[in-house]
Structure 1
Amino acid sequence: MPPLPRASPYIIRRFWGIVHKKLMRFSMLYCRWCGISFSNQISQLPFGLVLKQSDGTRIEEVLAMEAARRAGIPVPRVICYGEHPDMPHAPVSMLMTRLPGHELGEVYESLTQTEKDTVLFEMKAYLSSMRKWKSPWGEHRICSSSGTSIRSVRVPFTSMGPFETEQDMNDYLLYPRGFDMYDNDDDFPTLKKRVDKLFENKHNIVYTHGDLKHHNILVHEGHVSGFIDWESAGWYPEYWEFTTALRFQPEDFWWYDFVLRLSDHKYLVYKDAERALTNLTCDWYAW
């Protein structure tokens, strides 16, 4: 893995946090003047800049982006990042460059077959290179790029870990299971048996983007121009990238086949186990 940069000192982050608040207000005026739709999570600015401040933005995302950029992956360049202790729902903001292109989901059907194959090939190359990185936290630890807790849309409360072993993570994911949520006593053991297929083998822990979705891939002139939203990046079991991307996806949707081809159909066997895990545990959490 490319060396992770050190986080800026707290006082520097606070300074940029104050500056970013003023930039947010300026963005409102700028968008109004230019007729651009304003968003308080992704604020558009002149000179090819964007200010991001959402509930998922963390310092870990900033450091993951900088590491990915050093590895040659097309991610925005982070100019600076700030901290907002008075805003616990969105404690970190980052000022970054705007990448060219459109979301893959917006343009996929208009691409030629050659362009579709090119995008698939380039994404597969980026993911393959990332998965070969060596973790500085040990080969079994499941954690963020910085060794801390990981954020994921597919776990209750969107955060978990870090875990020293895959078994620790499995225990956490299964913790809320229970018989009393089922009307039929046969439902629980049936679901549990399906889930066991996911956990019965140990898996390699590899570096993972964690939110592989078509709206996080940018395409420009038939090539991948951006791979964005690194808030979930970290070290996960090898199946995680692809099974997470397939959750709730209909099989007749182009993205379903795209992800299968990205993974060489290797983790399709876990799809049913993933759905069973969701059914087994989701009622116990406030998502």
Structure 2
Amino acid sequence: MEKFSFPDSSTGKIDFNDSSFFQPSTGSSPVLPSPATVRQEWHKLGRHTRAIQFEDLGLVVKFGDPQSVRLEEAQAMKAIHQAFPNKEVPVPELFGWRVDQGQNFIYMSLVEGSTLREIWQLLTQDEKVSLRDQLGRIVAALRQLRQDPKHQYIGSVSRGSVQDLYFYGEDEAGPFPSVRAFNDWVQSTALRLPISQRPPDPYRAFLPDSCDICFTHGDLNLGNIMVSGDPGARRIAAIIDWEQAGWYPEFWEYCKALIAEPYWHEWRDAGWSDTFMKTYPDEWVAFSEYWTWKRP
């Protein structure tokens, strides 16, 4: 991933002219809808969503304030698209972005299909197994990405602060120079106490300070897995919502995947999520405790 160049997030307007949106077969010169047009559509929809679809353009625009819609998400999608040109990790195609009136607008391809959550009850057991196996291959491909061993860090894809929801509302966190520094911050933000006032914490020892750093989606859940195809031929069309993505310790993807769904759901209760990625039971114990402390 270090060999890829990332678009400068300080640029307020950028079009990716090599994307399919700007390669029409009609010979016309397509233009992305303006932020004003996106806001108009948002008002028409009753302000119930921050992802506005333009079906005739094959386009989705995700917009909002910089805390909720970060350009690091666009950078992550662009990086994954470059790293996997054969779509081993399927992501929406990035067309461009805009910064307007204090809001970010990310323009990406519209993915046809339904979320795994929407169709879960309609799936046969064989279809669930097939989708589980597909997801396993996607996660395995993502795990193949590695940083330059001489320049390792934990943070966003462009060497910025960590984007994970776990740290939402905290002062900007990271980038961290090591797994140990990251784990210490995970513990610190959960306890919310100065070091001198912290009670004994049996969980910190469950977070290993020496482990691989992996590129991580950070929010693998039923709502972020898009599925297309007819019954009997279901396939994962895309993994969406890369807003929390970046470089994290190898156990982070598993822990976040568990916390994303209720414990009684088949995703967790029947061990479904344990079958498409490596499990980290000790790390999960610590993470789940810290998550609970942070969100009483």
Q: TM-score, normalised by structure 1?
A: 0.80
* 1:101 paired to 2:113: yes
Q: 1:178 Cα shift?
A: 6.2
Is the partner of 1:276 in helix, strand or coil? helix
> How far apart in 2 are the matches of 1:137 and 1:81?
31
Number of equivalenced pairs: 262
Tell me the equivalent position of 1:161: 174
Tell me the equivalent position of 2:70: 58
RMSD: 2.9
> How far apart in 2 are the matches of 1:179 and 1:233?
28
| Cα deviation digits, residues 131-187 of structure 1 (max 9, x gap) | 11122584631011111112111224265210011111122222243679xxxx9x9
2:52 corresponds, among 43, 50, 58, to 43
Tell me the equivalent position of 1:170: 183
In structure 2, give the amino acid aligned to 1:173: V
> How far apart in 1 are the matches of 2:161 and 2:150?
15
CA contact (8 A) 1:154 1:244 kept: no
> How far apart in 1 are the matches of 2:199 and 2:167?
20
> Which structure has greater helix proportion?
1
2:92 corresponds, among 76, 97, 101, to 76
Tell me the equivalent position of 2:20: none
Is the partner of 2:34 in helix, strand or coil? helix
After superposition, the Cα gap between the structure-2 partners of 1:60 and 1:178, relative to the gap in structure 1 and judged at 3 Å, is closer
> How far apart in 1 are the matches of 2:262 and 2:188?
28
| Cα deviation digits, residues 4-30 of structure 1 (max 9, x gap) | 44337726349xxx953222144247x
CA contact (8 A) 2:221 2:260 kept: no
Tell me the equivalent position of 2:27: none
> How far apart in 2 are the matches of 1:9 and 1:144?
15
Tell me the equivalent position of 1:121: 133
Q: Percent identity?
A: 25
In structure 2, give the amino acid aligned to 1:93: F
Structure 1 unaligned segments of length 5 or more: list them: none
Tell me the equivalent position of 1:206: 214
Is the partner of 2:289 in helix, strand or coil? helix
Q: 1:121 Cα shift?
A: 1.2
* 1:224 paired to 2:236: yes
1:130 corresponds, among 116, 128, 142, to 142
In structure 1, give the amino acid aligned to 2:226: L
Q: 1:37 Cα shift?
A: 6.6
CA contact (8 A) 1:131 1:207 kept: yes
In structure 1, give the amino acid aligned to 2:41: S
1:233 corresponds, among 239, 242, 245, to 245
After superposition, the Cα gap between the structure-2 partners of 1:110 and 1:5, relative to the gap in structure 1 and judged at 3 Å, is same
Structure 2 unaligned segments of length 5 or more: list them: 16-31
> How far apart in 2 are the matches of 1:5 and 1:270?
32
CA contact (8 A) 1:149 1:161 kept: yes
Tell me the equivalent position of 2:205: 196
After superposition, the Cα gap between the structure-2 partners of 1:138 and 1:117, relative to the gap in structure 1 and judged at 3 Å, is farther
CA contact (8 A) 2:156 2:162 kept: yes
Tell me the equivalent position of 1:268: 281
> How far apart in 1 are the matches of 2:118 and 2:46?
18
Tell me the equivalent position of 1:244: 256
Q: 1:102 Cα shift?
A: 0.5
